[in-house]
A = this chain, B = another copy of it.
Amino acid sequence: MELLPDKSSLRDWIASHRHLPRVLVPTMGALHRGHTSLFDRAREEASRLGGEVVATIFVNPTQFGPNEDFTAYPRPLEADLAKCREHGVDAVFAPGVGDMYADDRSITIAENRLSTTLCGASRPGHFDGVCTVVAKLFLLTQPGAAIFGEKDFQQLAVIRRLVRDLDFPVDIIGAPTVREEDGLALSSRNVYLTPGQRAQAQVLQRSLAKTARGIAEGRLETPSAAKEAFLGEFAAATLARLDYFEMVDAWTLQRLDEFGDSEPRLLAAAFFGKTRLIDNVGLS
């Protein structure tokens, strides 16, 4: 596995592998089983194409808000590289901030529709930062396909929009959320939960899944009936404060007034103490 610490070494590596298709997995490091499942999915796709897997590890300052944890964000590079190696990654691009962003940078990519709801409502500028860095990573690594986790479903939808609207020649593959045995979605934030919060955290996923099943089986015929059912289930998490529960179209993220022919996606965010967890499910 190659470690590429800057754009220059990446460009050299690309030049010497020019005609091999690449599958990209962009990450911010601090890798857990959620990430390594994306590497496995990328490996599968790369083998199908006869190509290679490139992972990127870059804690992107432009997607953190002023009160968010950019400097405190964990950066266990050696452990991350070991996980990349174990999961069949061919090259890791891990640039510094000064290499990625000129001090006088003045170009930003903005998404002005899907980004304004859900998590975007409380994180202004976050998805613009994501779009800009993902565009740069696509242009630097020139992949034929890129893997993003469904765990960050709004991010996945925004990236699909970025690719559609700017005509990036990249297939976006969404990979299913990896979960603990009780259903809790893997997240580096789960370690912040107290034992009592941890015991209740799975209620988020259970409520989403049960509501989705009710819709799929026709028992919950309208979004308002589904919301009522979700809130009834979620009440079991007595230590939680719900941030949002929304039923949206999986592609446009527009809120659904009726289920109709859409592909519904159910998303929720909730605070356990100061720890904010997100999760989402489809109907299948």
Contacts and interface: CB of A to CB of B under 8 A. Distances in A.
Nearest to A132: B166
Given A107-B131, A109-B109, A167 B114 contact: no
Contacts of A164: 102
A43 to B, nearest CB: 24
B107 A166 contact: yes
A110 to B, nearest CB: 5
Contact of A140 (B108, B136, B140, B167): B167
A67 interface: no
Listed residue (A105, A107, A109, A168) with the most chain B CB atoms within 10 angstroms of its CB: A107
A252 interface: yes
Copies in the complex: 2
A108 B110 CA distance: 5
B105 A165 contact: yes
Contacts of A165: 102, 105-107
A274 interface: no
Given A136-B167, A139-B167, A167-B140, A108 B109 contact: yes
Contact of A139 (B19, B104, B168): B168
Contacts of A250: none
Given A7-B167, A136-B167, A139-B168, A107 B102 contact: no
A63 interface: no
B111 A110 contact: no
Given A7-B167, A167-B7, A104 B252 contact: yes
A135 B166 contact: yes
Contact of A169 (B104, B113, B131, B139): B139
Overall SS of chain A's interface:
mixed
A161 interface: yes
Given A167-B136, A167-B140, A168-B139, A106 B102 contact: no
A162 interface: yes
Interface in A252-273: 252
Nearest to A254: B104
Listed residue (A104, A135, A140, A167) with the most chain B CB atoms within 10 angstroms of its CB: A167
B108 A113 contact: no
A122 interface: no
Contact of A162 (B107, B110, B131): B107
Interface in A154-213: 161-162, 164-169
A132 B110 CA distance: 11
Nearest to A14: B169
Nearest to A7: B167
Interface of A: 7, 19, 102, 104-114, 131-132, 135-136, 139-140, 142, 161-162, 164-169, 252
Which 6 residue pairs across A and B have the least CB separation, nearest first?
A106-B113, A107-B165, A139-B167, A105-B165, A136-B167, A140-B167
